[in-house]
Amino acid sequence: MKLIKQFCSFVGKEIDIKQASLINIIRSEIAEKGAISFPRFWHQALLHEKFGYYMKQDVFNKDGDFVTSVEISQMFNELIGIWLLNTFQHIGVLDNNFRPTNQKMHILEFGPGLGTLSSNVLRVFAQFNLLENIQYSYVEYSDYMRKKQQEAVLKQLQKSNIYPKYEYNNQKVEKFESAEVNLKWFKMYEHFLYEETREGQHCDPVLILAHEFFDALPVNIFEYSGGQWCEKLVGLDQDGKTLKFILSNGPNQNVQKILNPDKYFSPEIKKLIKEGDTIEISPQSGVIANSLAELIAKVGGAALIIDYGEKRAFSDSIRAIQRHKLMDKNDILNKPGDCDLSAYVNFMALEQAALKVEGIKVPELMTQGNWLEQMGIQARLQILCKNANKATEKRLQSEYERLVHSNQMGSNFKFMCIHRTKNNNLFPFIQDAQQIYY
Among 11-25, 208-222, 268-282, which stretch is predicted with the lowest mean pLDDT? Answer: 11-25
pLDDT of residue 346: 98
pLDDT of residue 62: 53
Mean pLDDT of 149-166: 95
Mean pLDDT of 325-331: 79
* DSSP result, 134-153: EEEEEE---HHHHHHHHHHH
Mean pLDDT of 377-394: 94
Band (pLDDT 50/70/90 cuts) for residue 11 is very low
- In angstroms, the CA 165 to CA 174 distance is 11
- In angstroms, the CA 230 to CA 220 distance is 11
SS3 track for 78-107: HHHHHHHHHHHHHCCCECCCCCECCCCEEE
Mean pLDDT of 64-75: 81
Phi and psi for 137 in degrees, rounded to 5? -110, 145
pLDDT of residue 14: 40
Mean pLDDT of 110-130: 95
- In angstroms, the CA 181 to CA 322 distance is 37
pLDDT of residue 308: 95
Region class of 359: left (phi > 0), else alpha (psi between -120 and 50), else beta:
left
pTM of the prediction?
Answer: 0.90
Q: Is there a contact between 287 and 350 (Cβ–Cβ < 8 Å)?
A: no
Q: Which of 92, 166, 152 is nearest to 121 (CA)?
A: 152
Sheet holding 325-326, edge to edge: 325-326, 319-322, 340-342
pLDDT of residue 376: 96
The pLDDT tens digits for 191-239 are 999 989 887 778 899 999 999 999 999 999 999 999 999 999 999 999 9
Phi and psi for 93 in degrees, rounded to 5? -75, -35
Among 166-170, 391-395, 416-420, which stretch is predicted with the lowest mean pLDDT? Answer: 166-170
- In angstroms, the CA 107 to CA 182 distance is 10
The yes-or-no verdict on residue 2 having pLDDT over 50 is no
Mean pLDDT of 20-47: 94
The yes-or-no verdict on residue 51 having pLDDT over 50 is yes
Residue 3, burial from CB neighbour count under 10 angstroms (0-12, 13-18, 19+): middle
Identify the helix (H) or strand (E) that includes residue 246: strand 243-247
pLDDT of residue 34: 95
The yes-or-no verdict on residue 338 having pLDDT over 80 is yes
